[in-house]
Amino acid sequence: MRITKRQLKRIIREEGRKLRLREDSIADELDHLRANIKDDEEHVDNLEKDIEDDRKEAEDARKDESVRRRRLRRRLSSVIREERRWLNEDSIADELDHLRKNIDDDKKHIDALEDDIKDEREEEHHAEANESFKRRLRRIVRENTRPTRRVRRNRRRR
């Protein structure tokens, strides 16, 4: 495709207008920016103040929160201490109940052991008496059976 001189001139003119429009719009924008510098500076100052105020509010909120946390921590600590005391008192009372019950059980056990010891002594006494009776019987049997045994032994030896 060929471009004529006329078309080329027209394209150049249009590009020149666009370029001038751009230059004009840039110049207008610069003028507008220069005019608004004071407004922008005020806006920036206001933003800085807002940021500083927000920081102060956040810091105050943190301080208030830390104060609230400390109060809450103290309350919780006191509640926990009271509960521990209460539990400790309950556990002491429970332990005393167990000890009282155990004392009764221990008394019964001691009585049972004493009865067992008494029975053992009686058994030993009966065993000794029985043993002495057995010894007497053996002696009586030996005394009565000795001569016959000797005789028998003698008969066997011969």
pLDDT, tens digit (0-9, with 9 covering 90-100), for 7-18: 888 888 888 777
Mean per-residue pLDDT over the chain, rounded: 80
How is the chain split into domains, by residue range?
A: 36-157
Q: Which of the two residues, 143 and 119, has the higher pLDDT score? A: 119
**What value, to the nearest 5°, has the Cα angle with vertex 134 and ends 129 and 137?**
125
**pLDDT (tens digit per residue) in 44-70:** 888 889 889 988 888 888 887 778 888
**b/e burial code for range 64-87 (CB count within 10 A of at least 16 → b):** eeeeeeeeeeeeeeeeeeeeeeee
Return the pLDDT at 149.
47
Cβ contacts of 3 within 8 Å, gap of 6 or more:
11
pLDDT at 39 over 80: no
pLDDT at 154 over 80: no
